[in-house]
Amino acid sequence: MRVALTLSLLALGAVQPPPVAAPRAAMVIRGVSLIDGTGTPARPGISIVVRESRIAAIVAAGAEPPADLVVNGEGLFAIPGLIDAHVHLSGMPWAQRTEQLARVVRGGVTTVFDMAGDVRDTSHLSRAALTGEIDSPAIEYASLMAGPAFFTDPRVIASSRGYRPGEAPWNREVTADTDLVRAIAEAKGAGAHAIKLYAALDAATVARVGTEAARQNIRLVAHATTFPAKPSDLIAAGVKLLAHTPYLVWEGSAPSDDFPKRARGDFAGVPPDGEVMTRLLQSMKDRGVALNPTLWIFAEGPAKDDLAPVRTPWMNAVTRRAQAMGVILSAGTDSMIQGGDAWPMLHRELEAEVAAGLTPMEALVSATSGAARGLGIDGSRGTLAAGQAADIVLTDADPAADIRNTRRIRVVIKDGRLVHQAQIAGGR
């Protein structure tokens, strides 16, 4: 009775609430052409509303709330901050590496994924990036697992210093006898966001790792062949991202444990459009396994060798087919920046994807939502939509018309913070 009375009094006293002004935003980017990273064509006349570190809303220009900072986006294109899904950050002095990371974020790359190294080093950088101590992309990283034959490699010895090779929690030797429950728990304890399977691992071991990684809920990524395990063995084990298109060729060969030969497969004997590759790409599509092509490094970069004239057309054709068949492509460079080049190499990789036959929009997707999906971070990065991190790049020309326009950067916003604003030549 009492409740009913209260309700009726409230009802009698009810008036239309006064119009409430939309809460003030930290930042509004007004009137851009929006390329949201999903492959949807550019939408002109859009405003992006940023609150704290996130995109609060995407609205029609003119419908935005007042803001502390208004960026005039007229004539500009907004794309998601780019994601390089394959870098290596450790093994360089702090000052040199942080200078590179600052250059990379100014170059439009707002997230990088480190595919193994010294996790002590990488986690320190990752934390400094998170706290704003350094200007840097967000840094996620993997721990490595490989068979005994890999642990004589000088790179893995250097990045395990202080431990017997194979015993560092982030660079772990795995055999049939390894206590995987503990090894995977220690990889997680080291802060790794994923485990990378590298080399000298057979199908049975990979399957055991896959089962335990699923149980402990940590993502698996891998070189596309781990010798003797083939690409299909890795897919069956639950790996979610396969690195280096050329290594897919080993699906068509007898199992080999000669991993130093990984870039020298039988490209002439395994046609890109043949049954073996078709079946493999179809299973990647069906299982949601991403391909991290790393084209540039084999065609023109440090991994180029005498086999390039055969390997390059093969990897281009397979990457193009993967795209056509609906496989997720996650762009990555394996070489975030090269000494003399002012730009992050991701721009070169996107140009290599277009040279391989992808459209500029497909290439852009591979470095935004595609990369985020391959890394399992698509719930927070890789697209421009309400709720996503405010990682936004503004260019003064359309990257979907010409992929080289990803270099025409005017503004970079990372986690809602303006990290770079180009000198505007000729005034705007």
Chain contacts with Zn ion (rule: CB under 5 A): 115, 334
Question: Rounded distance, CA 350 to CA 12, Å?
Answer: 64
Closer residue to Zn ion, CB minimum distance, 114 or 391 = 114
Closer residue to Zn ion, CB minimum distance, 115 or 411 = 115
DSSP reduced 3-state for 173: strand
Q: Closest Cα to residue 286, out of 331, 326, 246, 233?
A: 326
3 CB contacts (<8 Å, ≥6 apart)?
none
Closer residue to Zn ion, CB minimum distance, 89 or 280 = 89
Question: Rounded distance, CA 313 to CA 322, Å?
Answer: 14
**Shortest gap between Cβ of 156 and Zn ion (angstroms)?**
12
Burial class (CB in 10 A: 0-12, 13-18, 19+), 202: middle
Closer residue to Zn ion, CB minimum distance, 49 or 290 = 290
Closer residue to Zn ion, CB minimum distance, 84 or 212 = 84
Question: Rounded distance, CA 138 to CA 381, Å?
Answer: 10
**Shortest gap between Cβ of 207 and Zn ion (angstroms)?**
23
DSSP reduced 3-state for 168: strand
12 CB contacts (<8 Å, ≥6 apart)?
none
Question: Rounded distance, CA 94 to CA 352, Å?
Answer: 30
Neighbours of 59 (CB within 10 A): 17
**Shortest gap between Cβ of 348 and Zn ion (angstroms)?**
16
189 contacts 137 by C-beta, under 8 angstroms:
no
Structure tokens at 341: 């080049």
Give the single-character DSSP code of 374: H
Structure tokens at 334: 């394996």
**Shortest gap between Cβ of 198 and Zn ion (angstroms)?**
9
Closer residue to Zn ion, CB minimum distance, 112 or 229 = 112
DSSP letters, 201-225, are B-HHHHHHHHHHHHHTT-EEEEES-
**Shortest gap between Cβ of 262 and Zn ion (angstroms)?**
11
Closer residue to Zn ion, CB minimum distance, 294 or 405 = 294
Closer residue to Zn ion, CB minimum distance, 173 or 334 = 334
**Shortest gap between Cβ of 395 and Zn ion (angstroms)?**
28
Q: In the beta sheet, which residues pair with residue 78?
A: 34, 394
Question: Which residue of this chain has its Cβ atom nearest to Zn ion in the complex?
Answer: 334
Q: Closest Cα to residue 407, out of 350, 337, 368?
A: 350
**Shortest gap between Cβ of 104 and Zn ion (angstroms)?**
16
**Shortest gap between Cβ of 222 and Zn ion (angstroms)?**
11
**Shortest gap between Cβ of 404 and Zn ion (angstroms)?**
25
Closer residue to Zn ion, CB minimum distance, 37 or 301 = 301
Q: Closest Cα to residue 396, out of 427, 355, 353, 358?
A: 427
Question: Rounded distance, CA 33 to CA 392, Å?
Answer: 12
Closer residue to Zn ion, CB minimum distance, 294 or 383 = 294
- Residue that the structure tokens 């990524």 belong to: 221
